[in-house]
Amino acid sequence: GDSVTQMEGPVTLSEEAFLTINCTYTATGYPSLFWYVQYPGEGLQLLLKATKADDKGSNKGFEATYRKETTSFHLEKGSVQVSDSAVYFCALSEGSGYALNFGKGTSLLVTP
Amino acid sequence: NAGVTQTPKFQVLKTGQSMTLQCAQDMNHEYMSWYRQDPGMGLRLIHYSVGAGITDQGEVPNGYNVSRSTTEDFPLRLLSAAPSQTSVYFCASSRLARDHYEQYFGPGTRLTVT
């Protein structure tokens, strides 16, 4: 079945550091890929998405490129801020697509 | 729009008790889902609905019931609560955006079963 694997955290970075959170997936077809962010005490918010190979999703300085050849969708940001501290989830949807398969989440802590 | 709303925000139950977690959306989305979030497990799909009167099981449906009598509401029922159901529960609704579905999540219900 479909699955998502993302790097385990927690990840601790200093402000203005470069961020990469790795995400790889297994799917039988051509899934849509998503990154969701969960701030402390809140629900999940869609951060960015890509629906086909080589698409790049971007939002709030975060980027991720859909790489079919490596089945990856790594999240990157050039300069993190303290306000980026949150849990990040990689997810995919396939077929009808209204339900998501999530990775286990990566906790990010950015220190001043 | 209020988006996706969930009540209650927090709940403590004793083993064996039953309760209903409420979920409502005002975006006229056809698709709605329930997930549970456990530490180190990500989110797992419990039940979902593709429209009023139609529901189906997800990855972890045991111990939960759902119904969808209206487009707006999708309650989740715990029939006989167990400590293993201690979790954070998220409801989501989905809209079709060109070639994929986008999910909108509620704020969650934190449930503790003692």
pLDDT, tens only, A47-100: 999 988 999 999 999 999 999 999 999 999 999 999 999 999 999 987 666 678
Contact A110, A10 (CB under 8 A): no
Whole-number mean pLDDT of chain A? 92
% of chain B at pLDDT higher than 90: 83
Q: Map residue B56 onto helix, strand or coil.
A: strand
> How far away is chain B from the Cα of A45, in angstroms, using its nearest Cα?
7
Tokens linked to B31: 């698709």
The tokens 């971007």 sit on which residue? Answer: A58
| Interval B76-103 mean pLDDT | 90
> Residue B31: pLDDT band by 50, 70, 90 thresholds?
very high
- Residue B2 pLDDT > 90, yes or no? no
Q: Which residues on chain B place their C-beta less than 8 Å from a C-beta of chain A? A: 4, 31, 33, 35, 40-45, 48, 50, 58, 90, 94, 98-108
CA–CA separation, A87 vs B2, rounded Å? Answer: 24
pLDDT band at A29 (very low <50, low <70, confident <90, very high): confident
B98 to A51: CB separation less than 8 angstroms, yes or no: yes
User: Which of B48, B49, B56, B100 to mutate: most A Cβ within 10 Å?
Assistant: B100
- List the Cα angle A16/A22/A27 in 5-degree steps: 150
DSSP H/E element including B90 = strand B87-97
pLDDT surpassing 80 at residue B48: yes
- Answer yes or no: is pLDDT of A30 > 90: no
